[in-house]
Structure 1
Amino acid sequence: MSPVTIRTIQPADNPALAIIIRNALAEFGANKPGTVYYDATTDALYELFRQPGSIYYVAELDGVLIGGAGIFPSPGLPDGTCELVKMYLAAAARGKGIGKLLIDKALAFAGEAGYRNVYIETMPELRKAMSVYEKFGFKYLDGPMGNTGHFGCDIWMLKEL
Structure 2
Amino acid sequence: MSDAIITNDAKPVIRLIQAKDNAAVKQLVHDVLIEHGISGEGFAGVDPEMDDMFSAYQGPLTAYFVIEQAGEIVGSGGFAPLAGCEGEGIAELRKMYLRPGLRGQGWGHRLMIKCIEGARQAGFKQMYLETTPAMKAAQKLYLKHGFNYRETRLGDTGHGGCEVLMLRHLRGQRTDD
TM over 0.5: yes
SS of residue in 2 equivalent to 1:125: coil
- Residue 43 of structure 1 deviates from its aligned partner by 2.1
1:154: which partner in 2? Answer: 163
* Cα RMSD (Å): 1.2
Q: Distance in 2 between matches of 1:72 and 1:123?
A: 20
SS of residue in 2 equivalent to 1:124: coil
2:39: which partner in 1? Answer: 31
Q: Given that residues 9 and 56 in structure 1 are in contact (C-alpha distance below 8 angstroms), is that contact kept between their aligned partners in structure 2? A: yes
Match of 1:10 among 18, 26, 30: 18
Unaligned runs of 5+ in 1: none
Match of 2:137 among 124, 128, 131: 128
Larger Rg: 2
Match of 1:105 among 106, 114, 117: 114
- Residue 40 of structure 1 deviates from its aligned partner by 2.5
Q: Distance in 1 between matches of 2:36 and 2:158?
A: 21
2:78: which partner in 1? Answer: 70
Match of 1:56 among 64, 71, 95: 64
Would you tell me which structure has more helix in proportion to its own residues?
1
Q: TM-score, normalised by structure 1?
A: 0.95
Identity %: 35
- Residue 3 of structure 1 deviates from its aligned partner by 2.4
Q: Distance in 1 between matches of 2:60 and 2:159?
A: 21
